[in-house]
Amino acid sequence: MSKKPLILGIETSCDETAASIITENEQGNPIILSNIVSSQVNVHKEFGGVVPELAARSHVEKINWIVQKAINESGKKITEIDAVASTAGPGLVVCLSIGLSFGKALAASINKPFIAINHLEGHALSPRLISNLDYPYLLLLISGGHSQFLSVEGLGKYKRLGTTIDDALGEAFDKTAKLLGVAFPGGPQIEILAKNGNPNRYNLPKPIFNKGGCNLSFAGLKTAILKIAKNIKTEKEKFDLAASFQKTIEEILYKKTKIAFRDFENRIKLKEKIFVVAGGVAANKKIRSMLINLCEEKNYKSIFPPIELCGDNAAMIAMVGLEKFKLKQFSNLDYPAKPRWSLDEEAAFLKGAGVRL
């Protein structure tokens, strides 16, 4: 029996220090041997958001023992690793540099290939960690830093169908929570508050709702929340605003996803219509339920990776590293950090906004 590749993945694009070891079985399906994620929530809580310098310092303090823990839990030895894959972008450059430098140094020290990974590609391929998912499929990536519809057509083959022209959806959730007095990271608490509120109390704006294809915008919605929140005096009003925000997001995603379905089907011939939702916001149960119902309505198979693989993690980085290793797509040790790194390099950009409309 031939030895299967053993890949170490490292992720430090924002405020999670993560490491993972994966391999594959005889059928070529990936096996996660370890997946360690260390959050920095307590580091940034008092500031109401991620402070890049503090995040980088925390990565420096933790990365060595996080990587060692991933190796120990995998039951393997560092000398058995066949390649090291590190996130090179997009993300906070001071954070990216920590994992990137560590990965390069480790790869050099054990004389094994180094592979620079696009963080978005990790999310794009993450469902392949838990299912025999064939290309192509439509991906909705909704997280604190990214909101995109992507046609995933193969390793290195991605077409961006839509993206946010301002805030990411996760950022909009976190900022709304902050305005309602919920401690960082408050985004996940919005759904809980919304359960006690009237979703029809406030008529909130839906920016570019009737234009821009499946592109998204949340800045105007955030501004409306800011104005209303200043005049809130009771807990009931807070619950009602949270519920109205949740409902508005669901309505935006419902319409924009339908448009993305149309654009996806017009772009490529499909054997099966598959829709994958990844990123931290994919944990929102109301959004999940709405998107599952939409998939049933439009005859799509819906796939949501497990919660631990939706947010930032290193298993998805190792997954891309595994695919690239098998194709011998290695990176030089002088590969730079890329804080802005699009998966679709050919995407046309709207002047001044950085998105295609």
Q: Per-residue DSSP letters for 293-317?
A: HHHHHTT-EEE---HHHHSS-SHHH
Mean pLDDT computed over 39-47: 73
The string of pLDDT tens digits covering residues 74-108 is 999 999 999 999 999 999 999 999 999 999 999 99
Residue 148 parent element (H or E):
strand 147-154
The string of pLDDT tens digits covering residues 49-72 is 778 889 899 999 999 999 999 999
CA distance 295 to 297: 5
Task: Provide the 3-class DSSP secondary structure of residue 354.
Answer: coil
CB 20 within 8 A of CB 99: no
84: region left, alpha or beta (phi > 0 left; psi from -120 to 50 alpha): beta
**Which has the minimum average pLDDT: 21-30, 262-271, 302-311?**
302-311
Express as a percent the part of the chain with pLDDT over 90.
Answer: 76
Residue that has been written with the tokens 């149309």 in this structure? 262
CA distance 220 to 208: 10
Mean pLDDT computed over 154-183: 92
CA distance 247 to 249: 5
- Read off the pLDDT band of 2 (50, 70, 90): low
Q: Within 10 A of 220 (CB to CB), how many other CB atoms are there?
A: 15
Listed by start position, the domains of the chain span: 7-130+309-326, 137-304
Token representation of residue 285: 């149960």
In this predicted structure, the answer to whether residue 346 has a pLDDT above a threshold of 80 is no
CB 115 within 8 A of CB 84: yes
CA distance 207 to 179: 19
CA 159 to chain centre: 16
Q: How high is the pLDDT of residue 39?
A: 82
Average pLDDT along the chain:
92
Residue that has been written with the tokens 């011939």 in this structure? 269
Q: Do you find a cis peptide bond into 188, omega within 30 degrees of 0?
A: no
Q: Which of 9, 2, 81, 112 is nearest to 321 (CA)?
A: 9
Cross-strand pairs, 10: 19, 86
Mean pLDDT computed over 10-28: 94
In this predicted structure, the answer to whether residue 354 has a pLDDT above a threshold of 50 is no
The string of pLDDT tens digits covering residues 179-212 is 999 877 788 889 999 999 999 999 999 999 999 9
CA 225 to chain centre: 25
Q: How high is the pLDDT of residue 144?
A: 83
7-130+309-326: in CATH 3.40.50.2300: no
Rounded (to 5) percent helix, strand, coil in the chain: 45, 20, 35
pLDDT: which is higher, 308 or 257 = 257
Q: Examine domains 7-130+309-326 and 137-304 and report if their fold is the same.
A: yes
pLDDT: which is higher, 91 or 350 = 91
CA distance 66 to 68: 5
- Read off the pLDDT band of 116 (50, 70, 90): very high
In this predicted structure, the answer to whether residue 353 has a pLDDT above a threshold of 70 is no
Cross-strand pairs, 278: 141
Q: How high is the pLDDT of residue 349?
A: 47
- Read off the pLDDT band of 47 (50, 70, 90): confident
The string of pLDDT tens digits covering residues 275-300 is 999 988 988 999 999 999 999 999 99
In this predicted structure, the answer to whether residue 340 has a pLDDT above a threshold of 70 is yes
The CATH number given to 137-304 is: 3.30.420.40
In this predicted structure, the answer to whether residue 350 has a pLDDT above a threshold of 70 is no
Please name the amino acid found at residue 220.
Answer: G
Mean pLDDT computed over 227-240: 95
CA distance 139 to 137: 6
Q: What is the pTM of this model?
A: 0.90
